[in-house]
Amino acid sequence: MSEKFQEKIIEYIDALSVKLGVATEHVYGVMVRQQFVEGIVYSIVTLSVLIASIVAFKKSLQSFFKCCKQDEDRTFGFVIAYGLVLFMSFFAAISFLPDQILKIYNPEYYAIKTILDTIGGK
């Protein structure tokens, strides 16, 4: 990390701590804890979505096979669309989970990343 960015990070944290009336170390500590908490909360939410989509997809498959046996054309399309949406939500949740686990494992990195994103305007 260049000295220019390090100086901007320190300036940002100092400015934030002055506005809040607390020490710079306190602000950084709060940001690190926040990343850890976000990682836990979002991991739980993501795992819940994964479990729900697996259960719902299994029910969708059961309905699909039931429709095939009863030869119901109207329900068949709905079951296929429902199953595809659940399948896509499953893969979306899987792609979201690693970042949340990393926030739990290394919250300092994500606190600094948040500061850099704020300074860089991204």
Domain ranges of the chain: 3-120
pLDDT of res. 13:
73
pLDDT of res. 75:
65
Q: Environment class of residue 59 by beta-carbon count within 10 Å: exposed (0-12), middle (13-18) or buried (19+)? A: middle
pLDDT of res. 92:
83
pTM given for the model: 0.64
The ranges of the chain with pLDDT < 70 are 1-2, 5-6, 16-17, 19-24, 67-79, 119-122
Note whether 97 and 46 are within 8 A (CB). Answer: yes
Q: Kindly report, residue by residue over 15-42, the tens digit of the pLDDT.
A: 766 766 666 677 778 888 999 999 999 9
pLDDT of res. 71:
61
Calpha distance 29→82 (Å, rounded): 44
